[in-house]
Amino acid sequence: MQPAGSPTPIAPEKDEHDAPVRSEHGLIGKILFVLGIGIALMHIYFNILTVMPSLWQNALHFAGFGLMCALLFPSLRQTGGARDTVVLAVDVAFGLLVAFAAVFLIAQEDAIYARGVHLTPIEWAAGIVLILGAIEFTRRTTGWIIPVLIVLALTYVGWWGEHVSGVFRFAGLSAETILFRSIFGDDGLFGNIALISSTFVFMFILFGAFLLRSGAGDFVIDLARSVAGKTTGGPGLVAVFASALTGTISGSAVANTASTGVITIPLMKRAGFPPKFAAAIEAAASTGGQLMPPIMGAGAFVMASYTQIPYTTIIGVSVIPAILYFASVAFFVRLEAKRSGVKQMEDGAPSALEVIKRGGLPFLLPVAVLIGLLVVGFTPTYAAGISILAVVVSSWLTPNKMGPKAILEALALGARNMVMTGVLLCAIGLVVNVIATAGVGNTFSLMITEWAGSSLIIAIVLIALASLVLGMGLPVTASYIVLGTLSAPALYNLIADAQVVDAIARGALSDEAKAVLMLVAPDQIAALGSAMSMEAANAIFAMVPIDLADALRTSVLDPATLTFALLSAHMIIFWLSQDSNVTPPVCLTAFTAAAIAKTPPMATGLESWKVAKGLYVVPLLFAYTPLLGGDWIEITELGFFALIGLYAFSAGLQGYLEHRLSPLMRLVLIANAILLLWPLPMWVHGLGASLFVTLFVFSRRLGKREAAGVAAA
């Protein structure tokens, strides 16, 4: 029996790719429950209470979740007959074998080095089992795309890479070297990405599980209804607000949609929103949950590791962009509510104060503790651990007190929700290891630079297309990892180079920078210290060879500017990696919302793609403005005018402002949006804002006339 007053137990999150899952009732459910508790406690022990060698930590991490994966995800589809029992026995044996192989190989590390990095037959066998286990578990949880990538990557460095002509030709490594590097390499199966998975990602997913078990999910919905329910388009704004808050709990856009959408989509439909639009709003808002600080899904932790930029810096600069994205979705809600004549929510929603008194502390207090600890300087892992304790303690100040049973359920839920992510992040290391070993990332970056012709916008379009294609088969975290490894250097160079060219044009060069440029353009010595046209500056920069370009960047730009150029590159890729959630033909988040709304999946996907346009607009601000690296005055100015620009852009796309717009008015509004969003002087943005206010007032008057005419008729 569940303790009185406690919330309904939260079902495990649905996996990103809807893989078939065994029934978690009966003996299997009990084993998974106990195993999940054990794995969660093990992670708390080596993340909070002790310091363990990273290889051991990552091996135990993969072994535990590999075993859970073998129990939870069958290798063959269930038929309900005797065959299922045989499949279960084989899966359990395979899971135990893979877990043993992981622990055994790490235990043999010293012996392998003592033999000069040579493997014995049993180590060969264990290594092969381990690689096959990573491939198979990833196939079960995410489909065939990542396993195929792993096989192609491993065979590339060992076999067919030497038969490729051109820049991607690779002489090849021995099978023993490939196996050793795949497991023990810094970017391998138990490398840097696995360390991110076993530390930051797991602890934050566990934190989210405790929040869910404490009743935070119900609190989020009630708070959203109390805050946004009575405004124009209230039910739609509830979906936006609830999904933004749920983003601090769930790292999955699909899970976000499934958990909040069952409440918000029927609410929107009853208020008068078209069903397809209601589903699109929920899908777009839930996608934004992974952009919402302080958690932002697993991708933010990977970004911190890749860039060596503190996690606190990443979430700090992400606040304004997240607000811009959710505001853009909210603008669509208001515009559609005005166009469709949506009713306000029914009376009876509690006030915000009543909601907080009734059980808000398990959400508000732990999140405040988490943010406070991160700001003070504690590591994300430690901050998440203390915040978990804060969830339990704060629950005792509400009717939803967490006792021993609820704590155990939260531990098991956290481990269960981590299975797919844990297996995926370890396995994707096999691909990243090959990219690093063969230098594919640098080659690919040079190709992007060449294709883009030094044009930043063309490079962003190419990366957006690549992210869409990858996102059809990869979860967004894996898509970001692959794209970040391949294309982030090219994007970083283009962003930094634009500022270098600007410095050359202004004549703002240090003596060191002038010395570098004198080597490549000695005939321009007299012009280097004075202002010149952008065309002339570009011509001089084009003479700089690749091997001197980095020296020029570091001599012209200060470390802070270079840091935020790197952060901008990764943030652009991170945001674009989310678009596969809402962009046809494969948009799992939109399809999940369509199933709830009972609307055509592909049509819902197209509608959600339109509503989520902030995913494409905001990254352009990262590229062309100091939105991430400017001072607070610059960021405030950019954010203010960007909000107005996004409203104008949304109205132009939706065809409605305060009345139905003609095609010409829609074009004018989109042009007005570009004027507000493009990096221009403040007085130009002021003119753009004045133009929008004029158009808004004009549209409002026309809307009142139309309403009066309808009333008179």
Residue 264 included in any domain: no
- Say if residue 573 is in the same domain as residue 462: yes
Structure confidence by residue, pLDDT tens digits, 669-705:
999 999 999 888 889 999 999 999 999 999 999 888 8
Question: Which of 3-7, 358-362, 515-519, 593-597 is predicted with the least confidence, judged by mean pLDDT?
Answer: 3-7
Instruction: Average the pLDDT over 168-195 and give the result.
Output: 90
- Say if residue 457 is in the same domain as residue 551: yes
Q: Can you tell me whether residue 660 is helix, strand or coil? A: strand
Question: Which of 171-185, 239-253, 322-336, 429-443 is predicted with the least confidence, judged by mean pLDDT?
Answer: 239-253
| Helices 253-271 + 216-228 axis angle, to 10 | 40
Q: Which two tokens stand for residue 283?
A: 């899908």
Residue 656's beta-bridge partner residues?
660
Residues with Cβ within 8 Å of 209's Cβ and at least 6 positions away in sequence, in order, are 10, 410, 411, 413, 414, 417
Q: Which of 513, 546, 581 is the last residue of a domain?
A: 581
Residue 592 included in any domain: no
| Integer angstrom CA distances of residue 404 from 65, 205, 407, 408, 542 | 24, 20, 5, 6, 66
The span from the CA of 678 to the CA of 648, in Å, is: 13
CA angle at 96 for the pair 123 and 147, rounded to the nearest 5°: 75
pLDDT band at 10 (very low <50, low <70, confident <90, very high): very low
- Say if residue 636 is in the same domain as residue 577: no
Q: Which of 520, 547, 581 is the last residue of a domain?
A: 581
Q: Can you tell me whether residue 499 is helix, strand or coil? A: helix
Judge whether residue 442 has pLDDT over 80. no
Mean of pLDDT over the chain: 85
- Say if residue 545 is in the same domain as residue 657: no
339-378 CB burial, b ≥16 within 10 A, e <16: beebeebeeebeeeeebbebbbbbbebbbebbbebbeeeb
Picking from 343, 345, 340, 326, the residue whose alpha carbon sits closest to that of residue 228 is 345
Percent of the chain past pLDDT 90, that is, above it, reads 37
Judge whether residue 488 has pLDDT over 70. yes
- Say if residue 577 is in the same domain as residue 651: no
Residue 377 included in any domain: no
- Say if residue 572 is in the same domain as residue 637: no
- Say if residue 563 is in the same domain as residue 450: yes
pLDDT of residue 201: 85
* 660 φ/ψ angles, rounded to the nearest 5 degrees: -70, 130
Residue 550 included in any domain: yes
Instruction: Average the pLDDT over 103-120 and give the result.
Output: 93
Judge whether residue 536 has pLDDT over 90. no
Greatest mean pLDDT range, 228-237, 440-449, 514-523, 587-596: 587-596
Instruction: Average the pLDDT over 214-238 and give the result.
Output: 72
- N- to C-terminal Cα distance for the chain? 61
Instruction: Average the pLDDT over 537-545 and give the result.
Output: 85
Question: Which of 42-56, 104-118, 218-232, 311-325 is predicted with the least confidence, judged by mean pLDDT?
Answer: 218-232
The span from the CA of 242 to the CA of 384, in Å, is: 22
Q: Which two tokens stand for residue 151?
A: 């096989």
- Say if residue 665 is in the same domain as residue 543: no
Structure confidence by residue, pLDDT tens digits, 340-398:
877 665 555 666 677 766 666 667 788 888 888 887 888 888 888 999 999 999 888 87
Whether 471 contacts 515, CB under 8 Å: no
- Say if residue 448 is in the same domain as residue 556: yes
Residues with Cβ within 8 Å of 418's Cβ and at least 6 positions away in sequence, in order, are 65, 201, 202, 205, 206
Q: What percentage of the chain's residues is helix, strand, coil (to nearest 5)?
A: 75, 0, 25
Q: How many CA atoms lie within 13 A of 521 on its CB side?
A: 20
pLDDT of residue 467: 84
Residue 503 included in any domain: yes
Residues with Cβ within 8 Å of 112's Cβ and at least 6 positions away in sequence, in order, are 118, 119, 123, 180, 184
pLDDT of residue 348: 57
The span from the CA of 655 to the CA of 469, in Å, is: 30
pLDDT of residue 32: 93
pLDDT of residue 40: 96
Judge whether residue 3 has pLDDT over 80. no
Residue 470 included in any domain: yes
pLDDT of residue 125: 96
Q: How many CA atoms lie within 13 A of 262 on its CB side?
A: 7
The span from the CA of 665 to the CA of 656, in Å, is: 9
What's the number of domains the chain is made of? Answer: 2
The span from the CA of 388 to the CA of 394, in Å, is: 10
Residue 484 included in any domain: yes
Whether 644 contacts 692, CB under 8 Å: yes
Instruction: Average the pLDDT over 445-462 and give the result.
Output: 85
**What letter represents residue 42's amino acid?**
M
Residue 565 included in any domain: yes
- Say if residue 561 is in the same domain as residue 684: no
- Say if residue 554 is in the same domain as residue 651: no
Q: Which of 581, 605, 623 is the last residue of a domain?
A: 581
Q: Can you tell me whether residue 302 is helix, strand or coil? A: helix
Per the structure, the complete domain to which residue 689 belongs is given by 632-713
- Say if residue 573 is in the same domain as residue 682: no
Residues with Cβ within 8 Å of 664's Cβ and at least 6 positions away in sequence, in order, are none
The span from the CA of 433 to the CA of 445, in Å, is: 17
pLDDT of residue 361: 64
Instruction: Average the pLDDT over 651-676 and give the result.
Output: 92
Picking from 274, 207, 198, the residue whose alpha carbon sits closest to that of residue 236 is 274
Structure confidence by residue, pLDDT tens digits, 32-86:
999 999 999 999 999 988 888 999 999 999 999 999 999 999 988 877 777 888 9
pTM of the predicted structure, to 2 decimals? 0.82
Task: Identify the residue whose tokens are 């692959």.
Answer: 482
Structure confidence by residue, pLDDT tens digits, 572-587:
999 998 888 888 877 8
pLDDT of residue 229: 59
Q: What is the CA radius of gyration of the chain?
A: 27
The span from the CA of 200 to the CA of 713, in Å, is: 63
Structure confidence by residue, pLDDT tens digits, 230-254:
666 677 888 788 777 776 666 667 7
